[in-house]
């Protein structure tokens, strides 16, 4: 059949299905991003005693679309002293992996558009590491000091937090015995969601993923009050939008990963799988917005020492505990 391309990948029908799948996921992610931004503005507005966007369309639902159109028709400014080629390429380098990681996230029970990849989790972690190159190159090529500081901070932060993030994932891998995200979901279907046995790992993952996403309280790379806009300070128009798109696509991907690894993925009673997945993803995204509306920003050196001195040892401990319990009692 057309859709079961993961079992026989080398056929024309499979190639067509992959392209269709890619396009569908692209539009899905764009929709999620648009309404995540809308949701963020609305939700933050409520937290802050405001109304949020309410002008365009019912409840301001078309606000983000208007914003995107605005960004599209803006001039694409390249600073004179910028490294032109890299400056123009950087947003794409940043965005491509953000979109590619969506390939392995199982959106629903009948993983129609999901690559049933044996090393799914490794693929995810490896690809996210590419984005930092886009961010750093963009920052460097802008020839702007604020961007440079933002880019350097971003690099230091992402590298530091990737390690505890990866470590916290190993606990889940041990529990499920697989790197395949579909297997991890099915391992949670009979028994506890991994948030219960892997609670420490979950906490580490949430903190580290917040830092990976450059969100409050780890939003130093684009700290508005310090670095104006951080690494994308010189970008305008749709290239700036690409950086924003990267950020929110990652938010979506990371929420999907949290849902898959710790909250049982698409599995759940009564409701269809895709709806369960959507609920869990939305919950995590709202949690991120809630944190954003609540906490101040950490300082660079504190962020670093927190990663290396607190999160990493905790992640190690979690790994050892999981291994010992799994080895002796299960």
Partner 1 sequence: MALEDEGNNLRAEEMLLNVGPQHPSTHGVFRLVVKLDGEMIVESEPVIGYLHRGTEKLAEDLQYTQIIPYTDRLDYIGAMLNNYALCHTIETALDLEIPERAEYIRVIVMELNRIGSHLLAVGSYLLDLGAMSPFLYVFQERERIVQMLNQISGARLTYNYIRVGGVRLDAPPGWLDEVREFVPFMKEKVKMYDNLITGNEIFLARTKGIGVYDTETALAHSLSGINLRCTGFQWDLRRKRPYSVYDRLDFEIPVGKNGDCFDRYYLHLLEMEQSLRIIEQAVEQIPESGPVMGKVPKMIRVPKGEYYTGIEGTKGELGFYIVGDGKDKPYRMKIRRPSFVNLQLLPKLLKGENIANLIAILGAIDIVLGEVDA
If the CB atoms of residues 100 and 251 are measured against partner 1, the closer one turns out to be 251
Report the nearest approach of partner 1 to the CB of residue 228 (Å).
6
Output 145 or 309, the one with its CB closest to partner 1.
145
In the complex, the residues that contact partner 1 under the rule CB under 8 A are: 44, 47-50, 145-146, 149, 216-217, 219-220, 223-226, 228, 292-302
Q: Which is nearer to partner 1, 6 or 226 (CB)?
A: 226
Judged by beta carbon, residue 45 or residue 268, the one nearer partner 1 is 45
By CB neighbour count within 10 A (0-12 exposed, 13-18 middle, 19+ buried), where does 153 fall?
buried
Pick the closer one to partner 1 by CB: 128 or 300: 300
**In angstroms, what is the minimal distance from the CB of 289 to partner 1?**
11
Q: Least distance in Å: CB of 229 to partner 1?
A: 9
Q: What are phi and psi for residue 160, nearest 5 degrees?
A: -65, -35
Shortest distance (Å) from residue 299 CB to partner 1: 4
- Any idea which residue has 């080895």 for tokens? 327
Beta carbon nearer to partner 1, 106 or 217: 217
Residue 80: CB minimum distance to partner 1, A: 18
Give the shortest CB-258-to-partner 1 separation in angstroms: 22
């Amino acid at each position: 059949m057309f859709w079961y391309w993961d079992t026989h990948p080398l056929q024309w029908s499979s190639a067509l299905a992959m392209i269709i799948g890619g396009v569908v996921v692209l539009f899905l992610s764009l929709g999620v991003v648009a309404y995540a931004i809308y949701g963020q503005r609305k939700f933050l507005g409520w937290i802050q005693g405001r109304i949020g966007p309410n002008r365009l369309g019912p409840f301001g639902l078309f606000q983000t679309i208007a914003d995107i159109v605005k960004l599209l028709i803006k001039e694409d400014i390249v600073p004179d002293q910028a490294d032109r080629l890299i400056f123009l390429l950087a947003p794409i380098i940043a965005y491509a992996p953000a979109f590619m990681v969506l390939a392995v996230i199982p959106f629903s029970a009948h993983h129609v558009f999901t690559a049933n990849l044996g090393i799914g989790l490794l693929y995810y972690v490896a690809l996210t590491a590419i984005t930092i190159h886009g961010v750093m190159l963009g920052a460097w090529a802008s020839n702007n000091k604020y961007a440079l500081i933002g880019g350097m901070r971003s690099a230091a932060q992402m590298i530091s937090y990737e390690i505890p993030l990866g470590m916290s994932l190993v606990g889940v891998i041990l529990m499920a015995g697989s790197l395949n995200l579909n297997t991890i979901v099915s391992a949670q279907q009979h028994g506890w969601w991994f948030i219960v046995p892997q609670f420490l790992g979950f906490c580490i993952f949430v903190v580290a993923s917040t830092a990976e996403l450059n969100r409050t309280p780890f939003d130093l790379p684009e700290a508005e009050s310090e670095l104006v806009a951080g690494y994308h300070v010189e970008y305008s128009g749709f290239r700036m939008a690409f950086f924003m798109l990267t950020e929110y696509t990652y938010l979506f991907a990371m929420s999907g990963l949290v849902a898959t690894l710790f909250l049982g993925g698409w599995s759940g009673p009564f409701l269809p799988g895709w709806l369960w997945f959507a609920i869990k993803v939305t919950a995590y995204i709202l949690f991120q917005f809630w944190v954003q509306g609540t906490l101040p920003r950490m300082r660079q050196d504190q962020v670093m020492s927190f990663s290396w001195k607190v999160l990493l040892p905790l992640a190690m401990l979690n790994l050892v505990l999981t291994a010992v319990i799994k080895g002796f009692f299960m």
